[in-house]
Amino acid sequence: MRESLEEKMNQIEVPTTLYNRCRMGINNAKKEREENQMNKKKMIRTVLATAAVAGVCILTTGNTAIGNTVKGFFKDVTRWDGAVVGTEYLQATEEIDMEIVTATTENGHTKLCLEVTFVEKEQIPWKYIEEMELGSYKILDEEGKEVIVVENDLTERVKGTIVDGKTQIVFEVEPLLEDIEYTIVVESMYGLKKADAPLEIKGNWEYTLKVQQ
Amino acid sequence: MQQLLKKAQRGDAQALEELFFMHEALLYRMAFLYVKNEEDALDVMQEVAYRTFKNIKSLKNVKYFKTWITKITMNCAIDHIRQNGTAISLQSEWLENTKQISETQEKEIILKATVEDLMNVLEVEEKSVVILKYYQEYSFREISELLQLPLGTVKTILYRALKKLREKAKEME
């Protein structure tokens, strides 16, 4: 049966331009990766510079009441030809609280429960979000070495329904050792609302976790 | 092939490119079945290439590369159809057609079906199941995991697709 269907599918002509179009997609992904790495470096430099300035302000003015005023913002996502294909929400770190509430071993995997809370649930975009999906994250060991890296796993996204600005997302990872203090770094999540495209929400959330028996 | 897969997952861009281009014709033909024209299928493939390279680290086990890239292609094709405003009934009401079709009848139906039938007669989820079952030769269980549908639903969709193709073949006789 495969041969029969294969023959029919082979009737669909593959255009000679296919290779170049795929090549464009690959080049865009590579370019984005390089830009992300440069932006990370720039952000670290900016944060360090800001911290240095803040430090100087405290020293010179004695004013320690410096609140963190970094707020999230929307940014258009554009395609290779400039067309806007979506929106993302950046710098959302201070607008979501996260905590690993349980970490246990089950059936040869480590099961984690991540509690997500909107700090200001009545503000945009939080008041419109109905579900939250986990996006990119990594887990580091005590030496800061990456033991697990997940980048926008399309095939296995996990999510939780928002109730009163809060949800719990349960997911499994490769088995982690007990009695080691790991760090989970979440870099993106997706806010979902029925009939709307998912909103990618980016930030940098870092929490420790220890697997219990 | 295994060496290529391992190199690709370690971040060897050359290996990943080679792997991708080994599958591009097959993936293009799948995309074409969904979007029904060359230009849209090329758009889909560009997005597939982009997502493959962006997300290779999320592939947990290299032996599932083909399954993974097949799923990306289907998702991109369906996203493309959605963006262009065509309604897709991902949760359409299944006909309760659980009447079994024999293997002989299945073979006959697939033999008689044309590419045009596959493109124009079947709905999106029906195309997905037919392609995965008869072109990629996945089992029902594998299809159920890939599409995240219950096993029974996958079978119902397939039998509904076969019934439509059979009726179309009868019309042409």
Is residue B87 predicted with pLDDT exceeding 60?
no
Query: Of all residues in chain A, what percent carry a pLDDT higher than 90?
Result: 19
Question: Which residue in B58, B106, B134 is closest to A153 by CB distance?
Answer: B58
Could you say which of B38, B58, B110 has the minimum Cβ distance to residue A5?
Answer: B110
Note whether B17 contacts A9, CB cutoff 8 Å: no
Q: A interface mutation test: which of B14, B27, B28, B82 has the most A CBs within 10 A?
A: B28
Q: Which residue has the higher pLDDT, B58 or A161?
A: A161
Question: Of the ranges A125-129, B18-22, B92-96, B162-166, which one carries the lowest mean pLDDT score?
Answer: B92-96
Cross-strand bridge partners of residue A208: A183
Contacts of B52 in chain A (CB under 8 A): 26, 29
**Does the beta carbon of B61 lie under 8 angstroms from any beta carbon of chain A?**
no
B96 in reach of chain A (CB within 8 A): no
Residues of A in contact with B113 (CB under 8 A): 8
pLDDT tens-digit series, residues A62-83: 444 444 456 788 877 766 666 6
Q: What is the model's pTM?
A: 0.51
What percent of chain A has pLDDT above 70?
Answer: 77
Looking at the partner chain, which of A17, A21, A152 has a beta carbon nearest the beta carbon of B55? Answer: A152
Nearest-CB residue to A28 (from B29, B50, B107): B50
What string of H, E and C letters represents the secondary structure of chain A? Answer: CHHHHHHHHCCCCCCCCHHHHHHHHHHHHHHHHHHHHHHHHHHHHHHHHHHHHHHHHHHHHCCCCCCCCCCCEEEEEECCCCCEEEEEEECCHHHEEEEEEEEEEECCEEEEEEEEEECCCCCCCHHHCCEEEECCEEEECCCCCEEEEECCCHHHCCEEECECCEEEEEEEECCCCECCCEEEEEEEEEEECCCCCCEEEEEEEEEEECEEC
Does residue B90 surpass a pLDDT of 70? Answer: no
Mean of the pLDDT values across residues A161-186? 89
Give per-residue pLDDT as tens, A16-63. Answer: 999 999 999 988 888 888 887 777 667 666 666 666 555 555 444 444
Over residues B120-136, the pLDDT tens digits come to 889 888 999 998 998 88
Q: What is the pLDDT of residue A52?
A: 59
* Among B52, B55, B72, the residue to mutate for chain A (most A Cβ within 10 A): B55
- Pairwise pLDDT comparison (A157 vs B154), residue with the higher score: B154
Q: B55 in contact with A at a CB cutoff of 8 Å?
A: yes
Q: What is chain A's mean pLDDT, rounded?
A: 80
Task: Verify whether the Cβ–Cβ distance B46 to A80 is below 8 Å.
Answer: yes
CB contact under 8 A, B45 and A5: no
**Which among B52, B57, B110 has the least Cβ separation from residue A1?**
B110
* Cβ–Cβ below 8 Å for B50 and A15: no
Is B34 in CB contact (< 8 Å) with chain A? no
